[in-house]
Structure formats: C-alpha cells, structure tokens
C-alpha cells in the first residue's frame, strides 16, 4: 500500500493529496475551475480531441490557460484522445511540440501512435493513457509503463476492490473517475453512434445514441407497447462523494471530474465541493465526518440522478435511467459577482439567468461558506432601480448585506 499519511504533532495527516482534475470547455470555465480549487484542468484542443461539440480550445486559448494556471500553481492537460484514421495522421508532431512549448503539463492519449511520437520527441510534457482504452488491470498498465507512459486513466468499470490491488502495485500514476457522466458501454469500444447516426464516436462525434429510446422485439414481436417504458441504455451520472476518504487512503494520484461540455455553474459547484471535502479529510482523516452537506451541494448542480457507478460491483437497475430522467438542476445559476463595494453593500454582478426582486439567492464561493439573501434592491448599470434581471450577461447591481467576493456565484433557490 502506498504511504499517504504521516503523524504530525500526534495527529495523522494526509501527505499525499490527490490531484483534483477538472474539465473545461472554454477559458472561462478553465479559470473558474482553477479558482474554485482544481489542481489541474483538462481541455480539448481544436485537433485530435474528442468532444468535438465542446467549444474546444485554440492554441492561443491553451496558452492563456497555461499562464493563468501557473499563477495558481495549477496544471493544464490537453486531450489528444481521438482514435486516428488515415486522414488524421498529419500535423501531430507540430501540434505536440507546440503544446510542449507553451507549457502544457500533460497530454491525454488513446492512440499508441501518438504515445510513440510523444515519447520519441522527448518532450517535457507527460503522456497519460486515456480512459478510451478501458484499462482495467495491472498487466495492461504494465504494457503502457513499458511504452513510457506516465499515467493511466482507468476505465470506469474498475471497482474499488480491483482498484485496491491496482494501487498496491501500479508502476505509474493512476487517475480514477470520481464524478460525472458514464458511458454505458466500454469506452472506445462503442460504435452505436457510428451505426445509428454516422457520427464517429472515437473521433469526437458521439451522438449519445445509448441515451435514445428504443423498441425491443422478442422474436420479432414488439415488447414495449406504446404505453410501456421504452428500452434505453442511459446511465445515471457517477458521484463518489461518499467514498473520497477511501480513495485518498489508497493513494490514487488523480481524481477526475468528467464534463467538458458542462456549464460554468456545474464546474464551479462540483470542483468546489470536492476541493473542500478533500482538504477537510486530508487535514484530519481520523476525525473526518462524512457530512451530508457535500452531497446536497452537488445535487444543486446535478443534471441527472447520481449513482456509485462500478464502485461496489455491477451497477444494477437503480443505476440506470429509463424514462425517469431528471435533466434539471434543483437550483438555477443566476449571477456571477464581479465586484463588491463593502461600504455600500453593493455587488456588481453579471446576470446569467432570469431572477427578480423577491427571489432568494444562495451565494457560493471557494473562499467562504454558502450564504443566503433575498433580492430587495436591484439596479441596472445606470444605477436605476429595476424589478427583474432578464437580459443575459447584463451588468447589474444588487444589494447584499454580507461580504461577498469577486467570482462568487449566485443560485436562485427553488422552493
């Protein structure tokens, strides 16, 4: 077992804190993830990256992200995780060299050709094996280690029991998913999207056909009649919020949050919740109490119902979504604080969703506990009193009696 703790002044402390790795689909999300506590952020470039529907980063964006991350002691990982076809082979070396030159910490790779090129080029950046390769065992990890890989991102199918064995002997860093959406099929081995919508899942075009509704036929006879539940292959999202302590004790090197296409509010909420939980646990693991508030906080941004994925064993019926989808967060992201005048108790905000005078708002922040207020006084940019905030990204002023900070966010409390 890896040594993760030591006794300091008679109290056990975690000395090997896992990296908290967050997703970002654009620069604003990248910066937010870092400000809200991510140790590293993974982004997709315009080339060689999955999630082609996410607003992927230009080289200039990545460069700005790296500079920003360095100010916070954080790192940027870039996904280069498509499975290459014959027409994707050009330009890889130049691209990797550029990423290395601008200070990217790691690339996340699924194709052995890119692994080989990256190692042959003797770059400074690390090469991480993508979850697209569905790595589930130590022998496969050993194969990648011999190819010179620095880290393996495990498949989501790895259970806690198997992870324990893997962590005991893994010869390279191990990254484990702790939160986010789950592929229902083995990653990298699913061609549903290719066959049903002609979109290449392994090059970023996945149409998420698994989440569609299907008719099931038994020897040609329709099983699900019109009023019956349609067949679907949709997973609930995974959250290991209740098991972070166990994972820290195993010495997992990196905790990955999935979701480059998720919203700013989602990223801020999820990152900040795990950050606080990890820090609290590491400070005094033997007296840590798993508080329900962490889970409650996550639920405020959850797009879907949550489950434990493969943590225990095979996910059953309770871990799947059929026609019971819950795509709506229970609280709505309505404002981002830009500045706060402590004397006038006036916050300058950027509107993100409709709210009005009389609404109750919950402010959350990486720096202080959540606080609540009711909107009583709201002004437009010309300091004229208004009743509603209904223009996206409009600059407004709102009276808040408690101190808030720039980059705090506000959610409307749904009663």
Partner 1 sequence: MKIVLSLNDQKRLYDYIDMGIDTFVLGGKYSFHCPYVFSLDEIASLTQKYPQCIFYVAVNALYDQHDIKDVEDYIKALSQMNIHGLLFQDYGVLQIVKDYQYHFDMMYSPETLNTNACTLNVLKSQGVTSAFLSRVIPLQEQLAICHDVKMPLMLQAHGVEYIAASKRELLSNYQAASGLSFQNNGIDHLTLKAKNSDYLLRIFEDEKGTHIFSDARLYTLDLLNQIHEFDYLYIETLMMNNEEAIEIASLYSDALKSYKQGTYDRDIKEYMDLLYRLKTPLDRGFLFDQTVYKLEDMRKMDNEKRESNR
Beta bridge partners of 75: 40
Question: With CB under 8 A as the contact rule, which of the stretches 195-203, 243-251, 258-266, 270-278 interacts with partner 1?
Answer: 195-203
Nearest to 37 by CA among 299, 283, 274: 274
Convert residues 43-62 into a mask of x (bound to partner 1 by CB under 8 A) and - (unbound).
---------xx---------
Cβ 62 to partner 1 shortest distance, Å:
18
Helix H segments across 251-362? 264-283, 292-299
* 110-149: contacts with partner 1 (CB under 8 A): 111-113, 115-116, 133-140, 142-144, 146-147
Q: Does 29 bind partner 1 (CB under 8 A)?
A: no
CB closer to partner 1 out of 10 and 316: 316
Question: Which of 214, 216, 217 lies closest to 232 in space, CA to CA?
Answer: 214
Taking CB under 8 A as the criterion, the residue among 11, 85, 367, 368 binding partner 1 is: 85
Q: Does 89 bind partner 1 (CB under 8 A)?
A: yes
Q: Long-range pairs for 312-317 at CB < 8 Å and ≥24 separation? A: 312/159, 312/160, 313/159, 315/235
User: Does 231 contact partner 1 by CB under 8 A?
Assistant: yes
| Cα 402–Cα 405–Cα 410 angle in degrees, nearest 5 | 75
| Contact between 215 and partner 1 per CB under 8 A | yes
User: Which listed residue (4, 33, 158, 396) binds partner 1 by CB under 8 A?
Assistant: 158
DSSP 66-112: HHHHHHTT-EEEEEE-PPP-GGG-TTHHHHHHHHHHTT--EEEE--H
Query: C-beta of 139: minimal distance to partner 1 in Å?
Result: 3
Provide the H-helix boundaries in 102-148: 112-120, 138-146
Q: Return d(Cα 118, Cα 21) in angstroms, integer.
A: 22
Residue 288 phi/psi, 5° resolution? Answer: -70, 135
Shortest distance in whole angstroms from residue 91 CB to partner 1: 13
Residue 289-318 contact track with partner 1, rule CB under 8 A, x = bound: ---------------------x---xxxx-
Work out whether 185 is an interface residue with partner 1 (CB under 8 A).
Answer: yes
The least CB distance from residue 266 to partner 1, in Å, is 21
């Amino acid at each position: 077992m890896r040594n993760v703790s030591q006794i300091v002044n008679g109290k056990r402390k975690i000395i090997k804190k896992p990296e908290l790795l967050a997703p970002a689909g654009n620069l604003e999300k990248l910066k937010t993830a870092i400000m809200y506590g991510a140790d590293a952020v993974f982004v997709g470039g315009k080339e060689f990256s999955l999630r082609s529907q996410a607003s992927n980063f230009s080289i200039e964006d990545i460069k700005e992200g790296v500079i920003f991350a360095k100010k916070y002691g954080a790192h940027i990982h870039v996904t280069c995780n498509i499975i290459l076809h014959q027409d994707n082979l050009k330009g890889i070396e130049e691209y990797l060299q550029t990423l290395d030159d601008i200070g990217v910490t790691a690339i996340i790779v699924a194709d052995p050709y890119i692994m080989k090129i990256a190692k042959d080029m003797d770059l400074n950046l690390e090469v991480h094996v993508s979850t697209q390769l569905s790595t589930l065992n130590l022998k496969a990890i050993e194969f990648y280690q011999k190819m010179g890989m620095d880290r393996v991102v495990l498949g989501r199918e790895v259970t806690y029991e198997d992870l324990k064995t893997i962590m005991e002997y893994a010869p390279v860093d191990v990254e484990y998913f702790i939160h986010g959406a789950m592929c229902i099929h083995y990653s990298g081995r699913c061609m549903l999207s290719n066959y049903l919508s002609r979109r290449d899942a392994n090059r970023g075009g996945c149409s998420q056909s698994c989440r569609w509704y299907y008719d099931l036929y038994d020897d040609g006879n329709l099983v699900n009649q019109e009023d019956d539940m349609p067949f679907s292959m949709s997973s609930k999202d995974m959250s290991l919020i209740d098991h972070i302590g166990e994972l820290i004790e195993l010495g997992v090197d990196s905790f990955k949050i999935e979701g480059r296409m998720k919203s700013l509010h989602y990223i801020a909420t999820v990152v900040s919740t795990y950050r606080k939980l990890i820090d609290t646990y590491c400070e005094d693991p033997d007296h840590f109490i798993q508080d329900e508030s962490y889970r409650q906080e996550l639920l405020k941004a959850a797009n879907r119902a949550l489950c434990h994925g493969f943590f225990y064993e095979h996910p059953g019926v309770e871990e799947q979504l059929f026609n019971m989808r819950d795509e709506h967060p229970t609280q709505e992201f309505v404002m981002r604080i830009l500045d706060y005048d402590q004397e006038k108790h006036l916050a300058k905000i950027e509107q993100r969703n409709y709210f009005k005078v009389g609404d109750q708002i919950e402010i959350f922040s990486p720096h202080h506990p959540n606080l609540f207020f009711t909107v009583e006084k709201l002004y437009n940019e010309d300091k004229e009193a208004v009743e509603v905030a209904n223009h996206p990204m409009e600059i407004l002023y709102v009276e808040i009696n408690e101190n808030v900070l720039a980059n705090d966010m506000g959610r409307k409390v749904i009663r």
